[in-house]
Structure 1
Amino acid sequence: MAVRKIEHVGVMVTDMERSIAFYRDVLGLETLGTLDHGNGTIKLAFLGSPGAGETQLELVQGYTGRLAEEGKVHHIAFTVDDLDAEIARIAKLDVTFIDPDITVLPNGARYRFFYGPDGEWLELFQPA
């Protein structure tokens, strides 16, 4: 298996600027980057501990639908070196994929979501 680390945990938010300020001012996280996803309706921000370079917090604004209180955490992402190889490997393990194909972000990073055993969303993520 080629999972190197937990890449990020995606948290659904309703107001990106308010959430960035909260995580910055209350927890001391710094904004590592932001981007528009897809058609611009979904906004992403990545935050982390200064100098840590490890697991990031991904704030996600713009998804449709409502989540239950316990559903604010949208997904957990795992960094991989070779996304195509990992998808091929886990496809043999009877995993159900959420997306029909790999998604490529504007910065060149690639990912694909799949379900965990209790329906939780998991992501294999290959950095740009």
Structure 2
Amino acid sequence: MSVHKIEHIGIYVSALEDSIEFYIRVLNLKHLYTLGEVEDDVRLAFMGFQGQDSVEIELIWKKDAPDLASEGRVNHLAFTVSHIEQEYSRIAELGLSGRSAQIQSLSNGSRYFFFNGPDGERIEFFEPARLTP
């Protein structure tokens, strides 16, 4: 098998610059580069983690795509976190929509919660059992 890792996750967005700002501010991603000019029909922005280049998020903006769901949207993005209680409080303070009513637990001790990105994409913060203090 020659599949090695997740290369990137593509997410349709309605406002590219707003989404870039969101992923920088909320998830501390860095804006790597943007393909396409403002007047183009399609623009792509690539986001990555500070000091890590193993997985990127590709934000996809299309000029004539008013209904993002008609082309499909990622169900959710999961990010590994530590100190999940602090992250849950931080997301609550940001006033983001769709936040889970509480942190959920899996039978193996891993914990998680969800919230919404700027276009309703579901974002999961996941603390694996091995990171739980």
Bigger RCO of structures 1 and 2 (CA < 8 A, at least 6 apart): 1
TM-score scaled to structure 2, two decimals? 0.48
TM-score, normalised via structure 1 length: 0.49
Larger Rg: 2
